[in-house]
Structure 1
Amino acid sequence: MKFNPPLDVGTIAFTEDHKSVIVGVGNRGFGDVKILEVTVNNEENPLETKIQVSDSLQGFILLEDFTREEAQEYHFTNIADVVIKQERHLLLILKKLDEGTVTEDDEIYGISIIHTGEIANVHLEYSHFGMEI
């Protein structure tokens, strides 16, 4: 698993002050992926963490506050409540976008993180086939 991890990381976007970040993730594995824990910097727990489950046509939104009015149009969900379905490989989604064949059924996942200080790096712990990675 370490040589060919199923979790696929794509889009990474920060706010200007680097206190909020979104990390687009996909799944190139043969089973579902479940995010178990998200930490930032030196294994610090972020102030808030959610996952956006969106479709490729709508995309993601980057916010400093999940309660803002703009967030209502997007699906911010507790990470514990979401599994990243198999065959949600980011390159497959991009290929469909290029070909014009992407639909609302092509779900994308974005881990949204808000922290009190600047976010320098993000650590994701996840499980695949019951194994923690």
Structure 2
Amino acid sequence: MKKLLSVVLLLVLFIGGFFIYLKAAPPLVTGTIEKSEDNRSVVIEIGNKGLKDLKVTSVRINNNANPKDVKIQVSNQQKDLAALTEGRGEAENLEGIENISISKGTNPEEKGTGYRLIVSYDEGIHNVHIKYRYFGILFNDTVEIE
């Protein structure tokens, strides 16, 4: 009985420590941020430094408003981000956020598969609030657009 209690206690400590680690070091990373001249369109390079794929569940802007359009572009090539914000870029491999999981070990600063969050709105965008799920835990990340 004492051995079982010790094992349960260690398991609880391990899970609690892992949860605290996840909250202290969230897996979503952002890279280059490009915006249109009128701030109505923003492209944010995103990646996942975690151990498991993460799933973006919702994107809000400014004071928790719903954006006009939200897409994620998956690409193996470097594209002109400024062209995407101005609507001049190639709109290939665009998916809704519900269709894409951000693969583990992706970094916007490195070559390989890249993810770009493309957000547009009828007014200027000042910040983007990204909600995502990782290991069943819901995270919130805010990206300031300067």
| 1:23 match: secondary structure | strand
What amino acid maps onto 2:100 in structure 1?
Answer: V
Which residue number in structure 1 is paired with residue 64 of structure 2? 43
* Alpha-carbon distance in structure 2 between the residues aligned to 1:118 and 1:58: 24
CA shift for structure 1 position 59? 5.7
Aligned equivalents of 2:33, 2:23: Cα separation in 1: 21
**What residue is the counterpart of 1:71 in the other structure?**
90
TM-score, length of structure 2 as denominator length: 0.73
| Structure index of larger Rg | 2
How far off is 1:64 after superposition? 5.2
How has the CA–CA distance of structure 1 residues 49 and 32 changed in structure 2, closer, same or farther, with 3 Å as cutoff? Answer: same
- Gaps (5+ residues) in structure 1? 94-101
Q: Distance in 1 between matches of 2:136 and 2:66?
A: 23
Separation of aligned partners in 1, 2:80 and 2:72: 13
Q: Percent identity?
A: 33
Q: Distance in 2 between matches of 1:23 and 1:33?
A: 16
Q: CA RMSD in A?
A: 1.8
Q: Does 1:84 pair with 2:102?
A: yes
Q: CA–CA distance in 2 between the matches of 1:108 and 1:40?
A: 22
Q: CA deviation at 1:130?
A: 1.5
Letter in structure 2 aligned against 1:34:
K
In 1, Cα distance between equivalents of 2:94 and 2:100: 10
Distance 1:18 1:88, change over 3 A: same
Q: Which sits farther off after the overlay, 120-129 or 49-58?
A: 49-58
- Name the structure 2 match of 1:29: 50
Structure 2 residues not aligned, in runs of 5+: 1-21, 140-146
| TM superposition shift of 1:11 | 1.1
Q: Which amino acid aligns with 1:88?
A: T
The answer to whether the Cα contact below 8 Å between 2:42 and 2:120 also exists between their aligned partners in 1 is: yes
Tell me, in whole angstroms, the C-alpha distance in 1 between the residues paired with 2:60 and 2:54: 17
Give the match for residue 62 of structure 1.
Answer: 84
CA spacing shift, 1:87–1:59, aligned 2, 3 Å: farther
**4+ long deviations beyond 2 Å:** 56-61
Aligned residues: 117
